């Protein structure tokens, strides 16, 4: 694929084919748009049935910030897989760093979390991203992060 190619939306089957994550740690439900080499807009449907709501927090369920960042990272992984033509290669996208994370609005059950991630820097083995999680157009979380492309660990 060439840069600036837009791909059709991903349903859950295509998300499952792109990512190695599975329930309960799969945090992307669909991809609304993906501009190869540039950016992605994905969705996480936040349900009260999520395991983390049992203890975070009783009486006031809030999605943990680290899981919001993980949802952004999974979105970035799909963007990297498509942009760097890694599908079927067995390569994985690993976190290297998380910087300047800010949480603005609590994410509660029943929300659709809009995940917007764009490349800041793109190289063959290391990529930098900017992510924003939005609730009804309002910023919930913003973060800069770096990931590396690598082979999976030996079994």
Catalytic residues, by residue number, are 56
User: What tens digit of pLDDT does each residue of 13-66 get?
Assistant: 999 999 988 989 999 999 999 999 999 999 999 999 999 988 888 899 999 999
User: What tens digit of pLDDT does each residue of 64-84 get?
Assistant: 999 999 999 999 999 999 999
Q: What length does the chain have? A: 155
Domain locations in the chain? 6-150
Q: What's the confidence (pLDDT) of residue 3?
A: 46
CATH for the stretch 6-150: 3.10.129.10
Whether 154 has a pLDDT exceeding 80, the answer reads yes
Instruction: Give the pLDDT band (50/70/90) at residue 155.
Output: confident
Instruction: Give the pLDDT band (50/70/90) at residue 7.
Output: confident
pTM above 0.85, yes or no: yes
Whole-angstrom distance, CA of residue 42 vs CA of residue 39: 10
DSSP letter string over the chain?
Answer: --TT-EEPPB-HHHHHHH----TTS----EEEEEETTTEEEEEEE--TT-GGGGTS-TTS----HHHHHHHHHHHHHHHHHHHTT-TTS--EEEEEEEEEEEE-S---TTPEEEEEEEEEEE-SSEEEEEEEEEETTEEEEEEEEEEEEEPPPP-
Whole-angstrom distance, CA of residue 39 vs CA of residue 117: 6
């Amino acid at each position: 694929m060439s840069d600036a190619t837009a791909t059709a939306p991903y349903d859950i089957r295509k998300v499952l084919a792109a990512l190695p994550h599975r329930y309960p740690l799969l945090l992307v439900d669909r991809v609304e748009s993906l501009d190869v080499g540039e950016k992605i807009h994905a969705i996480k449907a936040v349900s009260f049935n999520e395991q983390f709501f049992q203890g975070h927090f009783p009486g006031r369920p809030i999605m943990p910030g680290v899981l919001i960042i993980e949802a952004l990272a999974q979105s970035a992984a799909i963007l990297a897989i498509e942009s760097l033509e890694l599908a079927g290669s067995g390569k994985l996208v690993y976190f290297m760093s998380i910087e300047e994370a800010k949480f603005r609005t609590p994410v509660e059950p029943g929300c659709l979390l809009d995940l917007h991630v764009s490349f800041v820097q793109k190289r063959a083995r290391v990529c930098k991203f900017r992510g924003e999680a939005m609730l009804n157009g309002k910023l919930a979380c913003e973060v800069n992060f770096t990931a590396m492309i690598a082979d999976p660990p030996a079994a």
